[in-house]
Amino acid sequence: MSEERTLNFLEQIVEEDIANGVNGGRVHTRFPPEPNGYLHIGHAKSICLNFGLAQKYNGKTNLRFDDTNPVTEDTEYVDSIKADIQWLGFEWAQELYASDYFEQIYNFAVQLIKNGLAYVDDSTPEEIAISKGTPTEPGKGTPYRNRSIEENLDLFARMRKGEFKDGEKVLRAKVDLASPNMHMRDPIIYRIKHAHHHRTGDSWCIYPMYDFAHGQSDSIENITHSVCTLEFIPHRPLYNWFIEQLAIFPSHQYEFARLNLTYTVMSKRKLLQLVNEKYVSGWDDPRMPTISGLRRRGYTAASIRAFCERIGVQKRDNMIDVSLLEFCIREELNKTANRVMAVLDPVKLVITNYPADQVEEMTAENNPEDPNSGTRTLPFSNTLYIEREDFMEEPPKKFFRLGRGLVVRLKNAYIIKGESFEKDADGNITTIYATYFPESKSGGDTTGLNVKGTIHWVSAAHAATAEVRLYDRLFKVEDPGNEEGDFKSYINPDSLQVIKNAYIEPSLLKAKPGDRFQFLRKGYFNVDTDSTADKLVFNRTVTLKDTWAKEAKKG
Ligand code: ATP
Ligand code: MG
């Protein structure tokens, strides 16, 4: 973390608390995912924030699974969440589960009943909604509000025993039916749900609601700074009310703006739809904003942390341009990725004056940005593949690549001059013929040759083939979650382009899944886990330049 930037508002709060000796200057945060999906880049912001605060102020961070909703939760999600946090580079103090506190939370509820602060309500959800009144009118309550403590204790115990069906009864806190804050109008704190839980199995058929689990778990763990997103601001009075009434550890809740990214949906519910309805290949599809998707796409943990640091922490909702995320990985890979040559849309080039039986090993710098990256060799012969777009039949004036009579440098090799070409019956160019200048080898004599462009190539006889997957934004519109109708109708139909047979330089045959490269002039790529011994598969992590910014300027 850079030390020069000003403190964000949460760091300011923590520093004040430390200065005032609040909790003895102790800082203990938690990251509380619900294990009902994979983590996404928004969670990364929360992770960097919670773990970052603790790191900065010698504190600790718990990983707490907020697993109070048995129906949607699963151990597959628990495992992926742990793997993603570790991959991001953070270590939790303890791995904890809200479900481990079910007995304690149950006892807290009993305590509220005993103090006349909670009651069992038999009303239907509709009746409960009506009983709460409206924002302009106080609630009237239901007939069950005045049940005796004894009756409430008995009914709540029987709810736990499983004597009632789902929805037959709920436990409500008796707070304030006239409060301007609707969350304070006797919120439901327990519901009946006969469902198997991924950890507690069938031992419970009643489950605490978020508001009666989250703050209580914070308190049980002696969390000092409980950081959540802005939509929980109206829940804060209730968070405090429970802690006061139960006289338990005074954790405090603070809210920050969630991360919203352009061209991205971030809610797990929506991401789950994309997975279940097969719009993507899975949670780790490289187009997904999940941590596992970004990792597979080629993002590094450092680039994601750098992104979170750059966006900072705000108190107001905003929208971050996804190109900032792309900038962060591009910036890192520019420094670290070796340059290689790959031809994605190949056309054959024959150098007519180069001996047909000759092969030269050309020396190529691995990464000009990294003096320690060394060099490699590239076989060169009279038959090469170049990109189809690097040759033009009728080149316009400022075309600095290949055409008849035009000279261009082959990267790390010779300067050549376009001479002629052949076409097939459909009018597609099949072979380009050129001549080379023997003295012009990289570092050699180029007197009299006015070369303005350099193109990449691979030797046809030596190249390997690979599958290359080019990704684009998954959505066509900036804020797909807030458009009219189904967000899935805004999916970009061209978000994945698969090139089955690209030609890659032979040095790449040593590449392993996860390895990252710059394909010269084409972008940054990494080796996908779908690669086999016979065929490598590459993902384009990001283009070399932000092509969308250019599009936007064009209007
Ligand atoms: P979603 O709406 O995507 O399902 P959630 O809030 O229900 O997200 P949780 O698993 O409950 O997901 O979130 C764990 C933590 O991550 C919470 O503290 C939550 O505030 C935070 N978080 C979730 N989404 C974002 C986001 N987009 N930006 C910042 N923090 C987030
Ligand atoms: Mg949640």
- 55 touches 93 (CB < 8 A): no
Q: Distance from the CA of 43 to the center of ligand 1, in angstroms?
A: 6
Give the confidence band of 25 by pLDDT, cuts at 50, 70, 90.
Answer: very high
Number of structural domains (the chain) is 3
CA-closest residue to ligand 1 atom 23 = 43
Given 11, 15, 26, 34, the catalytic residue:
34
- Does residue 262 belong to any structural domain of this protein? no
Name the nearest CA neighbour of 474 among 498, 453, 493, 459.
Answer: 493
Question: Counting atoms of ligand 1 from 1, which one is nearest the CA of 227?
Answer: 18
Q: 134 and 74 share a domain?
A: yes
Residue 34 among the catalytic residues: yes
Residues with Cβ within 8 Å of 50's Cβ and at least 6 positions away in sequence, in order, are: 29, 30, 31, 61, 227
Name the nearest CA neighbour of 104 among 215, 240, 239.
Answer: 215
Residues with Cβ within 8 Å of 262's Cβ and at least 6 positions away in sequence, in order, are: 319, 320, 321, 322, 323, 478, 479
Q: 184 and 48 share a domain?
A: yes
- 277 touches 488 (CB < 8 A): yes
CA 425 from centre of chain: 47
Give the model confidence (pLDDT) of 362-407 as tens digits: 999 999 999 999 999 999 999 999 999 999 999 999 999 999 999 9
Name the nearest CA neighbour of 160 among 200, 219, 129, 117.
Answer: 200
Q: Distance from the CA of 490 to the center of ligand 2, in angstroms?
A: 25
- Does residue 205 belong to any structural domain of this protein? yes
pLDDT the model gives residue 434: 98
- To 5 degrees, how large is the angle CA 502–CA 384–CA 529? 25
Give the confidence band of 551 by pLDDT, cuts at 50, 70, 90.
Answer: low
Pick from 62-76, 312-326, 400-414, 465-479: least confident: 62-76
**Amino acid letter for position 312:** G
pLDDT the model gives residue 71: 86
> Does the pLDDT at position 67 exceed 70?
yes
Q: Is 45 in the pocket of ligand 1 (CB under 6 A)?
A: yes
pLDDT the model gives residue 116: 98
> Does the pLDDT at position 98 exceed 90?
yes
Pick from 28-37, 273-282, 500-509, 542-551: least confident: 542-551
d(CA 493, CA 173): 49
Given 236, 268, 376, 522, the catalytic residue:
268
Give the model confidence (pLDDT) of 165-204 as tens digits: 999 999 999 999 999 999 999 999 999 999 999 999 999 9
Q: 503 and 533 share a domain?
A: yes
Give the confidence band of 555 by pLDDT, cuts at 50, 70, 90.
Answer: very low
Q: What is the mean pLDDT of residues 233-248?
A: 98
Q: 309 and 357 share a domain?
A: no
- In what helix (H) or strand (E) does residue 218 lie, and over which residues does it extend? helix 214-220
Question: Counting atoms of ligand 1 from 1, which one is nearest the CA of 46?
Answer: 30
HEC string of 266-326 equals CCHHHHHHHHHCCCCCCCCCCCCCEHHHHHHHCCCHHHHHHHHHHHCCCCCCCCECHHHHH
Q: 422 and 512 share a domain?
A: no
- 145 touches 119 (CB < 8 A): yes
Give the model confidence (pLDDT) of 458-492 as tens digits: 999 999 999 999 999 999 999 999 999 999 999 99
Give the confidence band of 548 by pLDDT, cuts at 50, 70, 90.
Answer: low
d(CA 506, CA 379): 8
Q: Is 185 in the pocket of ligand 1 (CB under 6 A)?
A: no
pLDDT the model gives residue 3: 53
- Does residue 518 belong to any structural domain of this protein? yes
Q: How many residues does the chain have?
A: 555
- 79 touches 181 (CB < 8 A): no
- Partners of 192 in the β-ladder: 206
Q: 148 and 200 share a domain?
A: yes
Residues with Cβ within 8 Å of 28's Cβ and at least 6 positions away in sequence, in order, are: 54, 59, 60, 61, 62, 93, 221, 222, 223, 224, 225
HEC string of 238-283 equals HHHHHHHHHCCCCCEEEEECCCCECCCCCCHHHHHHHHHCCCCCCC
- 204 touches 197 (CB < 8 A): yes
> Does the pLDDT at position 552 exceed 60?
no
Q: 235 and 146 share a domain?
A: yes
Q: What is the mean pLDDT of the chain?
A: 95
CA-closest residue to ligand 1 atom 16 = 43
CA-closest residue to ligand 1 atom 2 = 267
Q: Which residues of 107-145 are buried (b: 16+ CB within 10 A; e: fewer)?
A: ebbbebbeeebbbbbebeeeebeebbbeeeeebebbebb
> Does the pLDDT at position 61 exceed 70?
yes
Assign residue 514 a region (left: φ > 0; alpha: ψ between -120 and 50; beta: otherwise): left
Q: 105 and 235 share a domain?
A: yes
- In what helix (H) or strand (E) does residue 429 lie, and over which residues does it extend? strand 429-436
% of residues, the chain, pLDDT over 70: 98
C-alpha pair distances (Å), 218 with each of 31, 215, 249, 469, 516:
10, 5, 8, 44, 41
**Amino acid letter for position 345:** D
Q: Is 229 in the pocket of ligand 1 (CB under 6 A)?
A: yes
Q: Is 289 in the pocket of ligand 1 (CB under 6 A)?
A: no
- Does residue 1 belong to any structural domain of this protein? no
Domain boundary among 407, 422, 456: 456
pLDDT the model gives residue 449: 84
CA-closest residue to ligand 1 atom 18 = 228
Of the CA atoms within 13 Å of residue 440, those in its CB half-sphere come to 21
Q: 475 and 544 share a domain?
A: yes
Q: Is 266 in the pocket of ligand 1 (CB under 6 A)?
A: yes
We report the CATH number of the domain holding residue 529 as: 2.40.240.10
Q: What is the mean pLDDT of residues 150-171?
A: 98
- Does residue 461 belong to any structural domain of this protein? no
- 40 touches 307 (CB < 8 A): no
% of residues, the chain, pLDDT over 90: 93
Q: Is 30 in the pocket of ligand 1 (CB under 6 A)?
A: no
d(CA 458, CA 399): 22
Domain boundary among 202, 232, 256: 256
Domain containing 395: what range? 342-456
- Does residue 4 belong to any structural domain of this protein? no
- Does residue 263 belong to any structural domain of this protein? no
pLDDT the model gives residue 545: 86
Q: Which ligand is nearest to the CA of 35?
A: 1
Give the model confidence (pLDDT) of 124-138 as tens digits: 999 999 999 999 999
pLDDT the model gives residue 549: 61
Q: What is the mean pLDDT of residues 65-70?
A: 93
pLDDT the model gives residue 242: 98
Give the confidence band of 455 by pLDDT, cuts at 50, 70, 90.
Answer: very high
Q: 214 and 287 share a domain?
A: no
Q: 388 and 448 share a domain?
A: yes
Q: 208 and 70 share a domain?
A: yes
pLDDT the model gives residue 553: 54
Q: Is 298 in the pocket of ligand 1 (CB under 6 A)?
A: no
pTM, rounded to two decimals: 0.94
Question: Counting atoms of ligand 1 from 1, which one is nearest the CA of 258?
Answer: 28
Residue 268 among the catalytic residues: yes
Give the confidence band of 444 by pLDDT, cuts at 50, 70, 90.
Answer: confident
In the sheet that holds 188-192, the strands lie side by side as 118-121, 170-173, 188-192, 206-208
We report the CATH number of the domain holding residue 143 as: 3.40.50.620
d(CA 121, CA 171): 6
SS3 38: coil
Q: What is the mean pLDDT of residues 533-549?
A: 88
d(CA 202, CA 193): 10
Give the confidence band of 547 by pLDDT, cuts at 50, 70, 90.
Answer: low
Domain boundary among 456, 485, 503: 456
